Amino acid sequence: MGGCCSSLPGLDDPEVGKPHTFKIKKSQASPDSRNFEVYNTDGEHWLVIKSDSDLSDPTPNFSLINKEREHVLGKCEIGVENVVCAKDVDWDGSDDSKSSDDSKDSMFDFDESELKVKLRWKIKRSAKFSDEDGREFATVGLQMKGLSKCEVEVDEEDNKDNDEDWDATAKVKNVSYTLSIDGKDYDVSVEKGNWDNWDRKWKVDGMFDVEYKQNDGADEVTVKTTDLEGNPGHDLLIAFAISEFMHPCRQLTKLNQAAVQIGKNAMMEHRN
């Protein structure tokens, strides 16, 4: 009945000096959970990216934790979205532009009984990362530029209800990322084209590869770390922030929704 030394429960922390493959999935513990679960290649639940903020926080914070050992491996703080927009609203061929830019785009030619909204936008968002001791070790940033278009055709014939068919699309002109780790800058490459597609890849040479795969509400992010000198947990956190909060498609969805809302407001003003 003598005692014996026992190891800590669960899996070890990601080991420095080895490549790792992580799979990140949104926690299904509750509908409003903001946590993410991290699995290894054997499908074992290994780590947790735990939300440290509530649902309404515009600058969410997360901690990377070893699931069983409850050991904090790092933290990230997502910055607020900085969005600058210029809008043009056309109704029945008249120019009710709210923008100081007088240039017109051929894709917004006006037809009768149509309302068209053009939303030129620029987005910036950043995140910062700290280790388990609170020392900041990295920052990452996103910059996007483009244009969202919303148009609706309206049938306002006498004695008929208004027939509205809303449509919103986006045209991306530029997407770029910045990454600095311990004062050194790194290039972040992103798969180009089909910006309204959630499936996307990113890469930082010599550090990690990231792939986002859409899967009917159970989306999955695969992170493969290749940096044999850096901390794989830190690389995982950076990849998580890029793929989850700086995904181009996520930004486009919000901007298209904004364009639709501007159009609906203009429609209400027109009818009043």
Q: What is the SS3 string spanning 107-138? A: HHCCCCCEEEEEEEEEEEEEEEEECCCCCEEE
Whether this model's pTM surpasses 0.85:
no
- Gap between the Cα atoms of 210 and 194, Å rounded: 17
What pLDDT score does 10 carry?
A: 63
What pLDDT score does 271 carry?
A: 67
CA 137 to chain CA centroid, Å, is 21
DSSP state of 205: T
Query: Are the CB atoms for 207 and 182 separated by under 8 Å?
Result: no
Per-residue pLDDT of the chain (272 residues; tens, 9 = 90+): 333 433 445 678 999 999 999 999 998 877 778 899 999 999 999 999 999 987 678 899 999 999 887 889 999 999 998 988 887 877 664 444 444 344 334 444 434 467 788 888 999 999 999 999 999 999 999 999 988 888 777 665 544 445 566 777 888 899 999 999 999 999 999 999 888 899 999 999 999 999 999 998 789 999 999 998 899 999 999 999 999 999 999 888 888 888 888 877 777 776 66
Strand, helix or coil for residue 57: coil
What pLDDT score does 5 carry?
A: 37
> Cα–Cα distances in Å, from 31 out to 39, 42, 243, 250?
20, 26, 21, 19
